[in-house]
Amino acid sequence: MKKTVSLILTAALCVLAVPADAARDLWAEYPWAAESVEYCLNNDIISGDENGDLDLGANLTRAQMARIFTDAFSLDETEASPFDDVKTTDWFYSYSLSLKDSMPKQGSEFNGGEYVTREEFAATMVKASGGKAADSYSVTNYNFKDASDVDDAYKNLLETAVTNLYMLGDDKHIRPKDLLTRAEACCFLYRVIDPAADKTPITGSAEVTLEQALDWARDKGAEQRYIDVAPFYWYYGEQFGIRPEVMYAQAGKETGYGKYGGAVLPEMNNWAGIKIKNPQGDRTEDHESFPTPEDGVRSHFNHMSAYIGIAPIGEVHDRYYVVKTIAWAGTVKYVEQLGGRWCPDINYGYEILDMIDNMKTY
């Protein structure tokens, strides 16, 4: 009988390590998982059978999930009573005990042979990795048409998985009830174990020159006010250690390249849609005003500094202090993470990256 392949997290548990070069032919059906699978192969997170079969399309059982998370996150056995349906002779007995406190839904039975859904895996992964449940379910609700299908026991943990970019949807659907495949498990784990993978830092030196940014802005038909503040972005970028092209692209997105046209008025010198301390809605008066265009740029950087966790420069606006009270304040290190935080749309950061990529061509 053909052996099934288990995802494992230590070399000692490998059945047979599959060389990455040999495995590439096996993931042709899963190009979206190629980087994650290669990472998992190279780090002994996944192994193949004697035929080199990774079974990436096969579903994951709860017992296998328990083994993965126990090894990946160094979980200890709990002192809770064992599950009624797990025998001490079962290979996953100790793993079931280790996972018990991380399971959002607990009963008297473990049902180790059951296949795991996407929602259960994501929510359990957040708890097992030490993550906290989000305070709301607003980002998932905003971004996915089937968000209401998620089990109540998983919702706030799933929100954490979404805002941390562990769990990505497909065509505005998150498919919570679908059974998880081994390829998907690799992707989820890769994003938790190596959160910097395939991410774009907000901090660092400029990768775009001021001259490139000015040519880009003019070519986009930007208002003169947006072109005029570009030097301030490159000046404060150096002062803060934040990449100026990230901030300038964001300002372009938020203001329509200086055209505004929404609740925020040009004379408010608010380049990033920053709100007041206690907004009542999305009216003009719900947004901050700054005395000069340069002060608005500096305040934009100060606002971002609360997200990143670096010191502001000069006097800060009231909304800065509001951001500092949020649980994730100081943890937003990558452009991709701005989605779901600066803006509820999880594609927000990716759209800024598209603008930066275009800016680099000038």
Range of the domain at 139: 11-193
Give the separation between CA 351 and CA 337, rounded to whole angstroms.
12
For the residues 25-51, what does the mean pLDDT come to? 72
Please state which of the ranges 76-85, 134-143, 168-177, 242-251 shows the lowest mean pLDDT: 76-85
Q: Judge if 297 and 265 occupy the same domain.
A: yes
Give the C-alpha distances (Å, rounded to integers) separating 159 from 106, 192, 346. 20, 14, 11
Share of the chain above pLDDT 90, in %: 76
pLDDT digits (tens, 9 = 90+) for 225-254: 999 999 999 999 999 999 999 999 999 999
Q: Judge if 36 and 148 occupy the same domain.
A: yes
Please state which of the ranges 75-79, 158-162, 269-273, 344-348 shows the lowest mean pLDDT: 75-79
For the residues 205-223, what does the mean pLDDT come to? 98
The Cα angle at residue 7 between residues 57 and 78, in degrees rounded to 5: 130
For the residues 28-36, what does the mean pLDDT come to? 81
Half-sphere exposure of 70 (CA within 13 A, CB side): 21
pLDDT digits (tens, 9 = 90+) for 314-325: 999 999 999 999
Q: Is the pLDDT of residue 11 over 80?
A: no
Residues 149/85, Cβ–Cβ less than 8 Å: no
Which pLDDT band, with edges at 50, 70 and 90, does 119 fall under?
very high
Q: Judge if 232 and 286 occupy the same domain.
A: yes
Which pLDDT band, with edges at 50, 70 and 90, does 1 fall under?
very low
Last residue of a domain, one of 193, 227, 245: 193
What integer pLDDT is reported at residue 71 of this predicted model? 87
Half-sphere exposure of 89 (CA within 13 A, CB side): 0
pLDDT digits (tens, 9 = 90+) for 85-116: 999 999 999 999 999 999 999 889 999 999 99
167 assigned to some structural domain = yes
Give the helix/strand (H/E) hosting 23. Answer: helix 20-23
Find the CATH number of the domain harbouring 268: 1.10.530.10
pTM for this model (two decimals): 0.85
Q: What is the gyration radius of the CA atoms in the chain, in angstroms? A: 24
For the residues 117-130, what does the mean pLDDT come to? 97
What integer pLDDT is reported at residue 5 of this predicted model? 30
Q: Judge if 187 and 314 occupy the same domain.
A: no
What integer pLDDT is reported at residue 4 of this predicted model? 28
Q: Judge if 177 and 302 occupy the same domain.
A: no
Average pLDDT over the chain reads 89
Closest CA to 24 of 9, 37, 15, 13: 37
Tokens coding 254: 């938020």
Tell me 95's DSSP state.
H
